[in-house]
């Protein structure tokens, strides 16, 4: 199962996320659930790089962790929140259809 943890402040601001595991919906290389989660997460990371101007993540097989830097400008923060909220929507949509393979939860930081 893929576990997605979205880290939020007490005000609801997304501070980062962690994605861990494999869906095991199908064989490696043809697992549409894993591919969908990967596409959403890597698009968010690419958006933060190209649109908000920063890279801040760790990656290894089946694991990605990203925390948002504290020193972003107001514009970078706004852009980052839009990207991360969109990522969150996408992950929840996948979870709704494939809840045996993807779990999204939230932690306050």
In this predicted structure, the answer to whether residue 28 has a pLDDT above a threshold of 90 is no
Q: What is the mean pLDDT of residues 42-47?
A: 98
CA quadruple 14, 20, 23, 29: dihedral sign: positive
pLDDT band at 85 (very low <50, low <70, confident <90, very high): very high
101 closest CA partner among 28, 31, 39, 18:
31
Q: Where are the domains of the chain?
A: 2-108
Task: Give the global pTM.
Answer: 0.94
> What single-letter DSSP state applies at residue 21?
S
CATH fold of the domain at 2-108: Alpha-Beta Plaits (3.30.70)
* CA 4 to centroid of chain Cα atoms: 7
Give pLDDT, residue 29.
83
pLDDT digits (tens, 9 = 90+) for 6-25: 999 999 999 999 999 999 99
């Amino acid at each position: 199962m893929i576990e997605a943890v979205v880290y939020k402040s007490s005000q609801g601001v997304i501070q980062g996320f962690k994605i861990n595991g494999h869906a095991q919906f199908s064989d490696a290389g043809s697992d549409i659930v894993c591919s969908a989660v990967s596409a959403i997460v890597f698009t968010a990371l690419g958006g933060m790089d190209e649109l908000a101007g920063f890279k801040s993540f760790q990656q290894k097989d089946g694991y990605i962790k990203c925390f948002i830097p504290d020193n972003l400008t107001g514009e970078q923060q706004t852009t980052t929140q839009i990207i991360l909220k969109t990522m969150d929507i996408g992950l929840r949509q996948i979870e709704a259809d494939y809840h045996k393979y993807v779990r999204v939860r939230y932690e306050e930081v």
